[in-house]
Amino acid sequence: MSWINLSALWKIIVFGLIAGAGLPALFAGGLYALSLGPKTAHVRAAGVDGDIDSDVVVGGSVAGMALAALAFLVILAAIGWSVYEIYTLGHPAPKK
């Protein structure tokens, strides 16, 4: 009997980082891709003096929007898959 289950600990850290920091980073990547294109170009061109209060997210580039959609879909799929995994792992047969 050990006090710390090391195999559970490293899994919690590694998968925690992948899901807990990686997925939101992917979401950020999606937002970045979404922002590419002509509609937000003036903000970039103007730099820090630009229209920093603009809340336009969609830049209008088709490739960017496609990439963003892909990123968001991957996130949803990852959440759905995790919930399914937790459900199967969380219902063990009762101990005899």
Partner 1 sequence: MSNDTVLVLVVITALAFDFTNGFHDTGNAMATSIATGALGPRTAVAISGLLNFVGAFLSLAVAATIASGLVATGAVTLTVVAAGLAGGIIWNLLTWLFGIPSSSSHALIGGVIGSTMAAAGGSAVLWHGLVSKVVLPAILSPVIAAGVAACGTWLLYRITRSLTEGARRHGFRIGQVGSACVVSLAHGTNDAQKTMGVITLALIANGTLTKGSNAPVWVIVCCALAISIGTYLGGWRVIRTLGKGLVEIESPQGMAAESASAAVILLSSTFGYSLSTTHVATGSIIGTGLGKKGADVRWNVAGRMATAWVFTLPSAAIVGATAYGIAYGIGGSAGVIIDLVILAALSGFIFWRSRATKVDHNNVNAEWTGRVAPEKVPAESAAA
**At 2, is the secondary structure helix, strand, or coil?**
coil
Instruction: Return the residue of 3, 6, 38, 45 that touches partner 1, per CB under 8 A.
Output: 3
Note whether 60 and 38 are within 8 A (CB): yes
The answer to the question of residue 53 lying near partner 1 (CB under 8 A) is: yes
CA distances from 3 to 7, 8, 9, 16, 32 (A): 12, 12, 11, 21, 44
Binding mask 5-44 toward partner 1 (x if CB under 8 A, else -) reads x--xx-xxx-xxx-xxx-xxx-xxx-xx-xx----x--xx
Neighbour count for residue 61 (Cβ, 10 Å): 19
Q: Which residues bind partner 1 (CB under 8 A)?
A: 1-5, 8-9, 11-13, 15-17, 19-21, 23-25, 27-29, 31-32, 34-35, 40, 43-44, 50-57, 75, 79, 82-83, 85-87, 89-92, 94-96
